[in-house]
Amino acid sequence: RTRGQLGALERRLSACGAACKDSGGSAAPPRAPEGPGPSGEAVPDTLRSLQTQLKSQNSRIEQLVHKVAQQQRHLEKQHLKIQNLQSQVGLLAPTHLDHGMAKPPRKKRLPKMVQLGGPAHN
């Protein structure tokens, strides 16, 4: 989504740059209009204002893209740590199951077997 917005802003900036091409480039100061325009000097001032606004927006977008990249790296590191811990737990789990989890079911089963097997032996 951010890249799409950046592309749209770049297209808008290019359009403003094309409109200002006759004035010597996007960084050049505005020149007087060739003919009497409806707003006179306001047209170049408006273009300069739009260019300034687009530059500040592009700068902000670049900052946000950088921040997203940092967060992505942080999440990848966390993911690796989680995978490492899961593998450690996976190595401990069979031992834990044999000693802690497997014995109680055997204890529960033994009385049932004794009850079922008791009358058969008598």
Contact 50, 9 (CB under 8 A): no
pTM to 2 decimal places: 0.40
* Residue bearing the bigger pLDDT, 118 or 74: 74
Give the model's pLDDT for residue 26.
Answer: 42
Task: List pLDDT tens digits, range 40-57.
Answer: 566 788 899 999 999 999
Print burial letters for 63-98: b (CB count within 10 Å at least 16), e (below 16): eeeeeeeeeeeeeeeeeeeeeeeeeeeeeeeeeeee
Give the model's pLDDT for residue 98.
Answer: 54
Give the model's pLDDT for residue 7.
Answer: 77
Give the model's pLDDT for residue 43.
Answer: 74
